[in-house]
């Protein structure tokens, strides 16, 4: 199946909520500057996502072959034990907001702009999830992201991008030689149906992580993912 682009994703900035989030005093000069930036961002923002429906062709001890591309990860392999169809994807805040924010020189305002871009990325992710659920009715979805675990390192990012053809042409997201996505406020991954919710955070011991979506389970790998565990 060809790649599908989600564009025209609704994005609305609730100024009052953002003002509170950034701990600005209503009516202050900072709040007025934020309002100006918000108006600019709202006018140009175009969060986007690209995905495809891909099929698992074979499975090994620590890898799966998806549409002819070998993805090496024991955790991914186990998570896809009962799965035949997956959804590789990339979502982004959009090149428009990224270029806009690069012209902001004030350090504090740059932080505000980054927060707005994160909001746009979340809108893209939400739109993608709702689209997959509405179109394919896969049931409960979990996801894995290259680089989120040592078991599925960032080098696998190239393979994920290869599955999607050219995310740069589709939505403007490209990989640097060091495998960083540009725009920075972009996320890539594979979503898959699952009976039990999974988040990579469950296998990651990093403390005080602002992006944590689930508590660390120090016994989960040995119980489920270590060879011979099943």
pLDDT band at 209 (very low <50, low <70, confident <90, very high): confident
Per-residue model confidence (pLDDT) at position 144: 94
Q: What is the pLDDT of residues 48-65, one digit of tens each?
A: 999 999 999 999 999 999
Which structural domains are found in the chain, ordered by start?
A: 4-225 (3.40.109.40)
Q: What is the dihedral of CA 200, 205, 208, 214, to 10 degrees?
A: 40
Per-residue model confidence (pLDDT) at position 230: 59
Q: What is the pLDDT of residues 94-123, one digit of tens each?
A: 999 999 999 999 999 999 999 999 999 999
Is residue 132's pLDDT more than 70? Answer: yes
Per-residue model confidence (pLDDT) at position 33: 96
Per-residue model confidence (pLDDT) at position 11: 95
Q: pTM for the full model?
A: 0.90
- Cβ–Cβ < 8 Å for 128, 138: no
**Mean per-residue pLDDT, 69-89:** 95
69 CB contacts (<8 Å, ≥6 apart)?
Answer: 159, 162, 163
């Amino acid at each position: 199946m060809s790649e599908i682009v989600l564009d025209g994703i609704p994005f609305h900035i609730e100024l009052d909520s953002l003002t509170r989030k950034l701990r600005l005093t209503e009516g202050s000069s900072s709040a007025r500057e934020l309002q100006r930036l918000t108006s600019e961002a709202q006018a140009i923002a175009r969060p986007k996502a690209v995905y495809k429906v891909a099929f698992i062709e074979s499975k090994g001890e620590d890898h799966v072959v998806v549409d002819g591309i070998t993805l090496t990860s024991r955790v991914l392999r186990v998570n896809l034990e009962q799965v035949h169809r997956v959804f590789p994807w990339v979502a982004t805040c959009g090149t428009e907001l990224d270029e806009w924010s690069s012209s902001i020189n004030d350090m504090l305002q740059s932080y505000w702009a980054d927060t707005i871009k994160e909001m746009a990325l979340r809108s893209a992710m939400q739109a993608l999830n709702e689209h997959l659920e509405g179109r394919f009715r896969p049931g409960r979805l979990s996801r894995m992201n290259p680089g989120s675990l040592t078991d599925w390192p960032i080098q696998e990012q190239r393979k994920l991008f290869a599955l999607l053809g050219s995310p740069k042409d589709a939505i403007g997201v490209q990989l640097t030689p060091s495998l960083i996505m540009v725009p920075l406020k972009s996320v890539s991954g594979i979503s898959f149906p699952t009976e039990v919710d999974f988040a990579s955070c469950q296998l990651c011991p990093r403390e005080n992580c602002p992006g944590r979506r689930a508590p660390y389970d120090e016994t989960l790998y040995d119980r489920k993912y270590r060879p011979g565990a099943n």
